[in-house]
Amino acid sequence: MNDLTIRELKKEDLWNGFLTSLDSLRKTSSIDENKANAIFDKINSNNDHIIVVAELNGKIVGTTTLLIEQKFIHDGGIVGHIEDVAVDNKFQGQKIGEKIIKYVLDYARNRGCYKTILDCTDEIKPFYEKIGFKNVANELRFDYV
């Protein structure tokens, strides 16, 4: 794969494929530019909220979010939460998602996480199990809308 780089999100990435990559989860690229910039600034001010991107030949083609949570249990242990794993539809099947996940797993380990967790659908479970995730519990959700 030519020039694939996994790194943290920069503001200029928003309109260089980042939001389009998220469209594979839910339409995102039509967000107002001022709102997108404000969201970026808020997220970027929190060292425990990390957005990682995959850059291929100068364009963002994938992303995920890692949230770091400090606990009281486990003697103040730290947990990583992976959210919003997305690869642009045109680039799926090229192991970009796997490389992004492995990057954030290493990042979480280096931050001292004793575990990293994520939620996914049954259809996507084999992708994560291949990387080493294990099915441990059930996700329950309460929707407000």
- Per-residue pLDDT tens over the stretch 33-48: 999 999 999 999 999 9
State if pTM tops 0.75.
yes
Query: CATH classification of 4-131 is 3.20.20.70, yes or no?
Result: no
Q: How far is CA 41 from CA 30, 37, 69, 125, in A?
A: 18, 6, 20, 32
Q: Band of the pLDDT at 139, cuts 50, 70, 90?
A: confident
Domain boundaries, the chain: 4-131
Q: State how far the Cα of 118 lies from the Cα of 47, in Å rounded to an integer.
A: 19
